[in-house]
Chain A
Amino acid sequence: MGSGVAVNLENVWIKFGDFVAVRDANVSINGGDFFSFLGPSGCGKTTILRAVSGFLSPSQGRVLIGGKDMAGIGPNRRPTALIFQNLALFPLMKVWENITFSMEVKGASAAERRKRADELLDMIALGGQGDKLPSELSGGQKQRVAIARALCASPDVLLLDEPLSALDLKLRQHMRTELRAIQQRVGITFIYITHDQGEALTMSDNVAVMKAGVIDQIGTGRDVYDLPSTAFVASFVGENNMFRGKILRIDGDSAQVDVAGIGPLVGRISPAASAQLDAGDEAMIFIRPEALAPGEGEAGRTLNATVVNEEFEGNAFTVYLDAGGNAEIRMSLANTGQHRIAERGSRMALHFPAGKAVVVPVGELASE
């Protein structure tokens, strides 16, 4: 693997009039990587994708594909293929004509195209369906046709703009696996845009988390999930409990934060933020619901709260607790056969393991 082509964004700014859609983006994507841009809608991730594919040019900065500056090169001459959010299959062309459109515009003969289409149709397990119209296919089939159409152009980089968002949950999960498998088979660079953190985490080698035009963090899915660098990343990727307080003391990579109504909690300082935090600063400490468990723990890793509500979700229980103040706490417990967790209104002690709480500077949270 790793035969794909690298994509680099260097100090890319994209403005529409006074509105800054992308602010100083610096991203280097390794050849053959599955790279995701993750962020809420309107954060500028699609804009970045359009700059890579050539539908718009950055107001400032450079886009390099395979080390080559793409300025002045239109989308039809870039080695990229884009899979659109709505797939953009040509409704009036048959499936095989859709797939081989990139050959048609280069003047390939019908026989040649038909042959290539059949190969690709076999690859996506739609053999014999080439003469249908896109409207006669199911959602998942359309998805695969769109992928085959993009791959037919033999791109160095495949760009995917939330292609799974229109599918239902089951199919979406299936397509995740399939996309990852296709990427590993063809070995080219995939750049994937999504607002669904589950998709980003399951498929990607690396993830960039974006907020309002700014890239907050780039790293592996694990890094982003376990060691978010900002309050936004912590609250956007996955569920999280947030507590706010003043840093009492910093001890190497851990900090003790005094949370009003709960007391001091000890957490690991996010590596990217260590330079920004000092004793006495306001800070936020994040603890994942699944990191919490009932029972007393060590000092600084225990908190007491009142049970407010409890929801059964099949594979897990979610317990809502009130720890005084405004902090609502969520605890997620795997369903191991327990009958119920606690009485409503009862007082309960919770603890979390070392390293499972992350301290970041105070910042904007992802809105629900």
Chain B
Amino acid sequence: MKRKIIFADFFRTNGVLMGSILIALVGFWLVFLVILPQISMLDYSFRFNLPPAQQGGPRDVYTLSNYQHLLYGSDATHQTYNTIDLMVFLRTIVAAILVTIFDMILCYPLAYFLGQSRGSGFVRLLVVLLIIPYWINEILRAFALRIIFGDAGMINEVLMFLHLTREPIDFIRQDVALYAGLGYAYILLMLFPMYNVIESLDRNQIEAARDMGASWPRIHRRIVIPHAKPGIASGCTMVFMLSAGALAAPQILGGPSSLWFTQLVYQWFNNSLNWQQGAAYAIVLLVSTIIIVLTFMRIFKVSMGDIGK
């Protein structure tokens, strides 16, 4: 039966007191913690960085200069591009996409295995093993990788022991450590959504397909992957957004000469104390990542409602 609920019905269902509490909580969250902060950050990004005395004064007008800075740097003539910051931006986006793809490929077989073999103690053990690193601090995980990738770390020791290299490889400077660390940090956010959807796939579908003579690659392409699409999309979205927005891993694992875009934002805020410039960079990061996610969701025909399942 069709039931549409409008405000009056909402209060009828929940009572005036409970209804008001619910609306107040949701309203506070959305308005004061999500919408208004984003709007005021947007507003900030269009303003000059003025000393407090001049704020609200005649010089406090809207400007595009913070965005121009990303494109052209401090060069007022706009002749040359701000190649350093733009390269950082590009590198961040491309690397985040690569990290996402890497995690997706790495997780799919395990997600399929866990999702389709239910009940056994071995599988439960694997799941518990997976959950443990999930709850270790992101910084500690990055720290662990730094120990391993260090000049005297495990990997260099092994490589040198095997005489694959004579001198320690500087994984940190080569950004190998950073990419491995980003992939490591968010890998479980890829695995669990995939695992959840694949678990809900009826085994009979796979057996029916095998019965009809489909090869394993075809079964995956035609049955498992279409079914798992919401989970894959969910995992990819989270890994991409979190990698692109990561701060801890780049700070700990990043080489001294290569920056992540969030580190630029961090520097504008905490070192240059130029909040307006930082807000502009943050807006660029937010908008571009959202556009990329929406584009991919459009390409792969995934709806927003699938995210978070």
Contacts and interface: CB of A to CB of B under 8 A. Distances in A.
Instruction: Say whether A associates with B.
Output: yes
Interface of A: 16-17, 19, 21, 42, 46-47, 55-57, 74
Nearest to A76: B15
Contacts of A42: 1
B255 to A, nearest CB: 56
7 contacts: A16-B1, A16-B4, A17-B2, A19-B2, A42-B1, A47-B1, A57-B12
Given A57-B12, A74-B12, 14 more contacts: A16-B1, A16-B2, A16-B3, A16-B4, A17-B2, A17-B4, A19-B2, A21-B1, A42-B1, A46-B1, A47-B1, A55-B12, A56-B9, A56-B12
Interface string B1-37: 1111000010010000000000000000000000000
State the majority secondary structure of interface residues on B: loop
Nearest to A42: B1
A338 B12 CA distance: 62
List 10 A-B pairs, minimum CB-CB distance, nearest first.
A16-B2, A19-B2, A17-B4, A16-B4, A16-B3, A42-B1, A47-B1, A21-B1, A46-B1, A17-B2
Contacts of B12: 55-57, 74
A42 B12 CA distance: 23
Contacts of B2: 16-17, 19
Quick one: which of B1, B2, B4 has the most chain A CB within 10 A?
Answer: B1
Contacts of B4: 16-17
A57 B2 CA distance: 15
Interface residues of B, number: 6
A16 B2 CA distance: 7
A19 B2 CA distance: 8
B273 to A, nearest CB: 55
A55 B3 CA distance: 12
Contacts of B3: 16
Contacts of A21: 1
Nearest to A44: B1
A46 B3 CA distance: 13
Contacts of A19: 2
A47 B2 CA distance: 11
Contacts of A16: 1-4
Contacts of A56: 9, 12
A177 B117 CA distance: 49
A47 B3 CA distance: 10
Interface in B41-90: none
A42 B4 CA distance: 16
B227 to A, nearest CB: 30
Nearest to A75: B12
A45 to B, nearest CB: 11
Nearest to A19: B2
Nearest to B8: A57
A43 B2 CA distance: 12
Nearest to A21: B1
Contacts of A55: 12
A47 B12 CA distance: 16
A56 B12 CA distance: 8
B42 to A, nearest CB: 37
Nearest to B6: A17
Nearest to B3: A16
A74 B4 CA distance: 19
A42 B2 CA distance: 10
A17 B15 CA distance: 22
A17 B3 CA distance: 9
Nearest to A47: B1
Interface string B207-250: 00000000000000000000000000000000000000000000
A74 B2 CA distance: 22
A55 B1 CA distance: 15
B13 to A, nearest CB: 8
A56 B2 CA distance: 13
A143 to B, nearest CB: 24
A267 B3 CA distance: 43
Contacts of B1: 16, 21, 42, 46-47
A86 to B, nearest CB: 15
A56 B3 CA distance: 11
A44 to B, nearest CB: 8
A41 to B, nearest CB: 9
A47 B1 CA distance: 9
Contacts of B9: 56
Contacts of A74: 12
A97 B193 CA distance: 40
Contacts of A46: 1
A89 B1 CA distance: 23
Nearest to A46: B1
A17 B4 CA distance: 7
Interface in B170-222: none
A93 to B, nearest CB: 20
B6 to A, nearest CB: 10
A157 to B, nearest CB: 20
B258 to A, nearest CB: 56
B173 to A, nearest CB: 59
B4 to A, nearest CB: 5
Contacts of A47: 1
A21 B4 CA distance: 12
A56 B11 CA distance: 12
Nearest to B13: A55
A57 B12 CA distance: 10
Interface string B273-305: 000000000000000000000000000000000
